[in-house]
Structure 1
């Protein structure tokens, strides 16, 4: 029977509110460490579903502005269909994970290099969407022994600023102003109205608004907009690498998305020589939300 094995949440006081309409200030210590060789890992929030311990676990990594709950239904379904353990993780500065001024892919990869062995989930199958896909790719390149196979969802190891509106989204979210003591029923509507002149697509606004939460009677963004604004160029890029990941790799693309195009393929195959490229028709950038059954079928096929 499927059951929630463990859900780790940020300890008391971990998400401190700031002024309504603005992101919370970082609450974790500097991730740079005190003279260490790399970024200091943070204790990420995660949910783990039970499954067969002899099979590599599936680890889902969300994209920018997302959180681990984006994959709730997918995680339950794939756990039932494959019998595997399934881990969903909040990246730093997202969901219930701690905030930090460092949003580099090196730091996000280090977080997972720390977490996966702690949970006994290495090597695992990494499944990352967008920002999570780039994190998964870097982790596979840095520590291939931790990754049994890799699925990158609608993203490639190249710069994606030409197709992304993420800097605009960050600016629009930071400009939201919700007065104190506004009822919960009105706060989301008010925020939606203020976002709509800039973020035209209703589905995108609804996705961004999943980050609006009430803390002590005030509405704040749980995503760390300050860190995102400072590092948006880094998030849109990908660290230069000379090494390659030899394991099985699937680039799963949305047929209606412009994030990955044929010009990216040489770099994808250079870094991931065992890569397959598969397109899900009628899916946009959020492949798992647009075509969940096709998404699940692609995962099952790749695992087989």
Structure 2
């Protein structure tokens, strides 16, 4: 199934978005939010979107402002701006009784949206989710690792290192090994697509704005953990056991805090979990959407 690319005009930005339409719409519409860095709607959701459409869902996957084919917004990329952006996007698409899913940065946007509009989404899926840990790393060296990352970010060295990395195909492939652990999923086509996005897009620079907003010297500015029990939306967490960015223990705790949550632990998968193991992740997402649809139908 081929995606249709469409333009979405918002008060603060113009977005480019992919849309998959089912032959028969039998489930709620789904909004998919991609991650940060050299990511885009096509890179994160190119396999997921058509599969969800085949299951009867109309699917929207926008490029965030400054990522993919979307120009930058008039404002700086902060967590608060991104959460407000999701609400404006939902309004522009005229979504009601919808499902929402987000990867990493998009997962944090999803959580923020669930707080912002608690009666909006029918159900949610959080993959490799941001916003549930106080620092960039756990463990004995977690504080040191976080401080070192802060200094690299504030000095500009991290941006310079990232630009150099983006121009080196071998380095790009090595970096993807942490995100996509299965070498069969880490195809030459995927490596090339990420390299093109990194070299030609503005996502890395845009993501740097968000990082400077979020990474303080001793902690991350946005940590949603204490507020999670207030989320009543049925939520599926999806997380790889070899995710080096977000420890599985943080996601296990988060899933326990939500009143209505399930956790799919994906063996040997990395942070880009739906690219690593689509054979497990996509069916789980479809089943979660089906259950939420059944539950909504059963309500009086």
Fold conserved between structures, TM > 0.5: yes
Does the C-alpha gap of structure 1 residues 169 and 68 become closer, same or farther in structure 2, counting only changes over 3 Å? farther
User: How far has the Cα of 1:78 moved from its partner?
Assistant: 1.8
Specify the SS of the correspondent of 2:286.
Answer: helix
Total equivalences in the alignment: 251
Does the C-alpha gap of structure 1 residues 235 and 131 become closer, same or farther in structure 2, counting only changes over 3 Å? farther
What do you get for the CA RMSD once the two structures are aligned? 3.3
Pair 1:171-2:160 in alignment: yes
> Match of 1:73?
47
2:121 and 2:221 map into 1 onto residues whose CA distance is 19
Does the C-alpha gap of structure 1 residues 63 and 281 become closer, same or farther in structure 2, counting only changes over 3 Å? same
Unaligned runs of 5+ in 2: 139-145, 180-190, 292-300
> Match of 1:94?
67
Does the C-alpha gap of structure 1 residues 234 and 199 become closer, same or farther in structure 2, counting only changes over 3 Å? farther
Q: Which has the higher helix share?
A: 2
Specify the SS of the correspondent of 1:250.
Answer: strand
> Match of 2:263?
277
User: How far has the Cα of 1:93 moved from its partner?
Assistant: 1.5
> Match of 1:239?
222
Question: What are the Cα deviations for residues 19-63 of structure 1, in whole angstroms up to 9, with x where unaligned?
Answer: xxxxxxxxxxxx9xxxxxxxx642322122223556311111111
Pair 1:192-2:197 in alignment: no
Q: Is the 8 A contact 1:47 1:87 kept in 2?
A: yes
> Match of 1:24?
none
> Match of 1:136?
110
Specify the SS of the correspondent of 1:109.
Answer: helix
Q: Is the 8 A contact 1:253 1:260 kept in 2?
A: no
Matches within 5 A, 1:1-304: 4=3, 6-9=4-7, 41-51=12-22, 52=24, 55-64=27-36, 65-70=38-43, 71-80=45-54, 82-100=55-73, 101-159=75-133, 161-162=136-137, 170-175=159-164, 191-192=167-168, 196=171, 200-201=174-175, 206=192, 208-212=194-198, 221-235=200-214, 237=220, 239-240=222-223, 242=227, 244-258=230-244, 259-263=246-250, 265-270=252-257, 272-303=258-289, 304=291
- Once structures 1 and 2 are overlaid, which stretch shifts more, 150-159 or 58-67? 150-159
Q: Is the 8 A contact 2:132 2:223 kept in 1?
A: no
Q: Is the 8 A contact 1:140 1:146 kept in 2?
A: yes
